[in-house]
Amino acid sequence: MTPTKISETLAAAIAEAGGDTVFGMPGGGNNLDFIGASEAAGLRFVLAHAETNAAIMAAVYADLTRRPTACVVTRGPGAASAVNGVANAKLDRQPLIVVADAVDSKSYERISHQRLDQLQLFAPVSKWVATLGAGATHETAAAAVALSMQAPSGPVFLNFDPQGPASALPTTPAPGEVTVPGRVHDAIRSSRRPVVLLGTGARVVAGPVREVLQGTGVPVLTTYRAKGVVPESWPEFAGILTGATTEAPILEAADLILMIGVDTVEFIPNAWPYNAPVVSLSAWPEDSPYLTIGEEIVGDLAALTGSLRGIFQGATWPEDAVATHRRTELERLVAGPPATTGIAPAAVIQRAREAAPAGTIATVDAGAHMLPAMELWAVENEDEVLISSGLATMGFSVPAAVGAAFARPDRRVLAFIGDGGLAMCLGEIETLARYRLNVTVVVFNDARLSLIAIKARPDGNGGENAIAFSSVNFAEMARAYGIAGFVASTESELDEALSKALATDGPSLVDARVDPSAYPHILNSIRGRR
């Protein structure tokens, strides 16, 4: 089978499954054949500046649209560069199809330049790795596309080798019908202080979850990825679940913990100290010994959740328990030292939330600013805040914002990112400009790796040379890329900058000069340590 025919077969399989977009950074040859075949099949191609960014864009787009989405990269350095983005999709359970050129089998013994065992490289971060070879069929391509979408969603890596043999089809067992056992219903019904934990798997069953929980008065904690599955305006919303200490008062008081779609890949590596029995409903089994689950039911999560309607009638939580916990949590978070040399990080989030219209999507990068952002960016619906949760990689939020802007062209997207993270994906500012995407980048500019600075020992391991950057004017850089850029060093300047940025037709950037002195307090208030 010719390279063109293989490309056409895969592109057709993606289009037939509902896919409409391919992201990537090609290297010529088979890459361009696949891009051409994709465009001929009606798929849009979005050119990125780096392979990991393209993988993040594609995975976020697929996650938001529930459409299979491909990322195309070249062999050798292109494939190696994509690994971080693919690993992020694997740990955040996001669908992704990675199409990589390869040294072909006919030339493999002769050519060592750029030759890597790409299947072995991607096996640990993919659901399946395979070769698109001479015998590749529509059935093979369709199976790869379908596998990326099956729960738990994740990356499928395809090596493009027209000279080599095609890999065998993946085998996936057909799910049987599973119901919640009567004894589990009885346990939930008889509990007096149940707590519900929502995880990444609950994002696709928000409707049934809301029908079960609304009006019950039962405290609900959500992981980062599940934020918005229940509206934060609901009296049941008790805050964020990360495995930290901030949720401890609610969980310590529980007599039963019900997890819906929780995957412990999202939890920080603290010990699980709670004694209440745990019941888990999920679309896939938990494969980590992080905590002991008393009852785990794996099946159709919408049906499993729907079976719980009216089951919390025995709950007797005090009427103000959830509200008091949440108010105390937020008051403690913002009660740190006042900013003296710039804007307090929490104030950046609070003022951005006030300025941005309802339904604005926030993408949040890894770093110290993540802590106030995830607590203070209030949402009413799922998919209104996106973060690298399982991998927690820097450089996520700007390419994620690109993917979100393509998936939700009617929404404003705010990308919260530190100066260190922005340096890793700065080229994608040009992508925002080229496509005139409705994205506002908010940079927490303090010229340092603030989260790493908190972790440094008092004896100075590493010192300033390990955490400090030179001062950079990102607003000027944004303008050089062709988008509106604003600098803010005070709260009043921030209000003005946000107002102008959000009124801009197309992309914009706000360079917020922040005072990092509050970060140790924020970390301690959430995780109970300095």
Q: What is this structure's pTM? A: 0.95
Report the pLDDT value the prediction gives residue 3, as an integer from 0 to 100: 66
Alpha carbon 237 to its chain's center: 21
Residue pair 443/513 in contact (Cβ under 8 Å)? The answer is no
Assess whether pLDDT exceeds 50 at residue 529: no
Give CA torsion, residues 28, 21, 105, 4, to 10 deg: -70
Give CA torsion, residues 30, 31, 35, 38, to 10 deg: 60
Alpha carbons 360 and 414: distance in angstroms, whole number: 7
Minimal CA–CA distance to 417: which of 482, 467, 352?
352
Report the pLDDT value the prediction gives residue 150, as an integer from 0 to 100: 94
Alpha carbons 361 and 364: distance in angstroms, whole number: 10
Q: What is the pLDDT of residues 93-137, one digit of tens each?
A: 999 999 998 767 666 666 766 667 899 999 999 999 988 877 778
Does an H or E element contain 479, and which?
A: helix 474-481
Q: What is the pLDDT of residues 55-70, one digit of tens each?
A: 999 999 999 999 999 9
The total number of residues shown for the chain amounts to 530
* Residue % of the chain over a pLDDT of 90: 74
Mean pLDDT for the stretch of residues 221-236: 97
Assess whether pLDDT exceeds 50 at residue 530: no
Assess whether pLDDT exceeds 50 at residue 167: yes
Assess whether pLDDT exceeds 60 at residue 454: yes
Assess whether pLDDT exceeds 70 at residue 174: no
Report the pLDDT value the prediction gives residue 26, as an integer from 0 to 100: 92
Mean pLDDT for the stretch of residues 209-226: 97
Report the pLDDT value the prediction gives residue 415, as an integer from 0 to 100: 98
Report the pLDDT value the prediction gives residue 437, as an integer from 0 to 100: 98
Report the pLDDT value the prediction gives residue 469, as an integer from 0 to 100: 79
Mean pLDDT for the stretch of residues 247-260: 96
Q: What is the pLDDT of residues 302-360, one digit of tens each?
A: 999 999 999 998 899 998 889 998 998 888 888 888 888 899 999 999 999 999 999 99
* Residue % of the chain over a pLDDT of 70: 93
Identity of residue 183: R
- 3-state helix, strand, coil split of the chain in percent (to 5) is 40, 15, 40
Report the pLDDT value the prediction gives residue 346, as an integer from 0 to 100: 95
Structural domains in the chain?
Answer: 3-160 (3.40.50.970), 182-325 (3.40.50.1220), 334-527 (3.40.50.970)
